[in-house]
Structure 1
Amino acid sequence: MTTHFITTEVKFHDSPALLSKVIEAELRLSGEPLRWAITALDLQRQTATVEAVVTLDD
């Protein structure tokens, strides 16, 4: 198992619960999320920058 630090952007959603699910689904494209945080917001583009640590099976 290896860990990787990744950064991605996701579109805002009206519901915080929905935003969380969208973020986790996006992160699963790169591995299994261990932890993540929203580190920046772009209000004009309506996006959130997310930094995460994910694991991959070898």
Structure 2
Amino acid sequence: MTTHFITAEIDLQESPAKLHQEIIAELENRGEPLRWAVTNVDVKEQKATVEAIVTTTTESEKV
């Protein structure tokens, strides 16, 4: 298992629930999220910056 620190930009959504779903979906594309936080919101660009710690499993660890 490998741990990674990642930063992602997420488009702002019309509701907090949809934003949460979008963040989780993006993080799961990169690994299994352990923890994450919205660290910046750019209202002009309609983007949220998310910093997260995710883990990934190598092929040899899946066996």
**Aligned-CA RMSD value:** 0.6
Q: Which runs of 5+ in 1 are unaligned?
A: none
More strand by share: 1
| TM-score after normalising by structure 2 | 0.88
Could you give the per-residue CA deviations for residues 15-57 of structure 1, whole angstroms, max 9, x where no partner exists? 1111001001011111011110000011110000000000001
Percent identical among aligned pairs is 57
Ranges in structure 2 where 5+ consecutive residues have no aligned partner? 59-63
- Alpha-carbon distance between aligned partners in 1 of 2:45 and 2:28, rounded to the nearest angstrom: 23
* CA radius of gyration, larger in: 2
- Higher relative helix content: 2
- What TM-score results when the alignment is normalised by the length of structure 1? 0.95
